[in-house]
Structure 1
């Protein structure tokens, strides 16, 4: 009787040990799953907060001079006329972050940038007559003034360095994404940029 009792006790002890081990492992798995879900929620929630329009603005200004004359005699201008224009331009670069696609891989612990919006550049030129000097017999016509002002606007738009604006806007874009990068690194996630917008040193 004692022999069977000891055997039963031994078997019962093994079963209890296995049960405790499986319960402990199950709890650990639940804890790990909960942590993974929490990390995923934190990162995706931060990404959703970034879904907005980012705008960078810069102002430019310059003076443009237009000169003409009724005729030239012996190299001298006859009845010269002159107009000095003050031109300004507001350059606006925008990123629609609703168009970005960022995946969160909880298995490999990666934040993957699949797609980023391209910068949209808009230039709003304006021109005012700063100074105008003409003669009664060689006066600027309104059609001349309109043409000169329109030409000044086009010249102002062309003078804006769009490549430099794109570089400046890239810095602004990275600043907006920094919150995602910092949070991902704090949760021990690596960042992979498939768009090649940022160098590995910037991530």
Structure 2
């Protein structure tokens, strides 16, 4: 009789252990599946986000050279019409992150900075010059540098960077939505990211 009781107890213990082992394996497989899904979502987000804008401006370029103890001068000038295509982009394939399966936490370690590219097209009108002071490659370089500086200031004041940042946040929010749905935590700079503070990612 005692033998049967002991045998029964052993069987029950084995059943409980087997059940708990299956539960553990199930949880482990779920975490692995979730990790793979998160990694895939980050991979999907990891693309080049580009926002384009068009800018125009007109400037007058003048240069004056003095000769013979400043008694003679030679001036050159031109009206420059600028049409430029500008882009603000984020290469999200460069996002650095860490996944902790134990705490179900995704830590974004680094978000790439925006890259601003300006491609100006210059057209010259009413060009005036003489043999003592002609347009040279140095003049075109100075004009191009001035144009890019002016356009960079315009971009800062325009909605182009804001639109690019909004697109960036839209992509990063996909990761936040997925992690929230699965009960994971997304954090950046040591702080959890939520819908309320998602702008802090920038």
Q: TM-score range by the shorter chain?
A: 0.7 to 0.9
**What is the Cα deviation at residue 118 of structure 1?**
2.0
Aligned residue in 1 for 2:38: 43
1:107 aligns with 2:96: no
Cα pair distance change 1:173/1:42, threshold 3 Å = same
* CA spacing shift, 1:195–1:101, aligned 2, 3 Å: farther
Matches of 1:61 and 1:147, distance apart in 2: 23
Name the structure 2 match of 1:140.
129
How many Å separate the matches in 2 of 1:46 and 1:19?
40
Match of 1:34 in 2: 29
CA RMSD of aligned residues (A): 3.2
Further displaced range: 29-38 or 169-178: 169-178
**Equivalent-residue separation in structure 2 for 1:47 and 1:31 (angstroms):** 24
Match of 2:170?
Answer: 175
Give the secondary-structure state (helix, strand or coil) at the position aligned to 2:112: coil
Structure 2 equivalent of residue 18 of structure 1: 13
- The corresponding residue for 1:75 is none
TM-score, normalization by structure 2: 0.73
| Cα distance change on mapping 1:45 and 1:29 into 2, 3 Å | same
Consecutive unaligned residues in structure 1, runs of 5 or more = 70-79, 134-138
**Is the Cα contact below 8 Å between 1:66 and 1:82 reproduced in 2?**
yes
Q: Name 1:202's counterpart in structure 2.
A: 198
SS of 1:144 mapped into structure 2: coil
Whole-angstrom distance in 2 between the partners of 1:125 and 1:195: 41
In structure 1, how many angstroms separate the alpha carbons of the residues matched to 2:93 and 2:63? Answer: 51
In the alignment, the residues of structure 2 paired with residue 145 and residue 66 of structure 1 have an alpha-carbon distance, to the nearest angstrom, of 13
**C-alpha displacement of 1:150:** 4.9
Q: Is the 8 A contact 1:101 1:114 kept in 2?
A: yes
Is the partner of 2:46 in helix, strand or coil? coil
Q: CA deviation at 1:87?
A: 0.9
1:154 aligned to which of 121, 131, 145 = 145
Conserved in 2, the CA contact under 8 Å of 1:89 and 1:156? no
Across the two proteins, how many residue pairs are aligned to each other? 181
The 8 Å contact of residues 61 and 143 in structure 2, kept in 1 or not, is answered as no
Equivalent residue in structure 1 for 2:121, among 126, 136, 140 = 126
Unaligned runs of 5+ in 2: 65-74
The equivalent residue for 2:72 is none
Give the deviation of 1:45 after TM superposition.
Answer: 1.3
Deviation at 1:96, TM superposition (A): 2.4
Residues 4-56 of structure 1: CA deviation (Å, up to 9, x unaligned):
x2x22222221121111111101111110111011000001111223333322
